[in-house]
Amino acid sequence: MIRDRGNIKWTAMMLSEHVAELHRWQNEDHYEERPQLDDFDLQAIQYEIEVAKKRECAVHVKLWDKGKSVFYMGVIREVNVEAMWITVDSPFGRDRMPVSDIISVQIAE
């Protein structure tokens, strides 16, 4: 009877450089290009942020962060024009997001 240990056997034979290169290669496969937003998109994002702030309603915010899209849901509590970030209260806590990384904002109804 053959007793094969599967992944334990293969990871023990790999060098740390090989493992690091495989992780880099895997991350490269999931990389997304940053979407190019025109003036109309930026105006729509600004309008949605202003309306959501005045109404104090829940929003879906989509950010671009290091090659991937990140989704947040919460209520916009603060908009800082000078520092160029917004603060969103979510069920998991308060998140501060730079305006330059925002891809889209939608009011959740």
CATH of the domain at 43: 2.30.30.520
Please indicate, yes or no, if residue 95 is contained in any of the structural domains.
yes
Of 44, 45, 71, which Cα lies nearest the Cα of 60?
Answer: 71
β partners of residue 104 = 62
pLDDT on residue 26: 84
Indicate if the alpha-carbon torsion angle 35, 67, 49, 75 is positive or negative. positive
Cα angle: 80, vertex 34, 63; to 5 degrees: 40
- The CA distance from 92 to 89, in Å, is 8
- On whether the CB atoms of residues 90 and 73 are closer than 8 A, the answer is yes
pLDDT on residue 83: 93
Please indicate, yes or no, if residue 96 is contained in any of the structural domains.
yes
pLDDT on residue 109: 74
Please indicate, yes or no, if residue 85 is contained in any of the structural domains.
yes
pLDDT on residue 9: 60
pLDDT on residue 39: 95
Please indicate, yes or no, if residue 18 is contained in any of the structural domains.
no
DSSP 82: T
CB-count burial class (<10 Å; 0-12, 13-18, 19+) for 86: buried
The tally of domains found in the chain comes to: 1
Domain span at 52: 39-107
**Torsion, Cα of 65, 109, 107, 40 (10° steps):** 120
Q: What is the pLDDT along the chain (109 residues), one digit of tens a residue?
A: 666 666 556 656 677 888 888 888 887 887 888 889 999 999 999 999 999 999 999 999 999 988 888 999 999 999 999 999 999 999 899 999 999 999 999 998 7
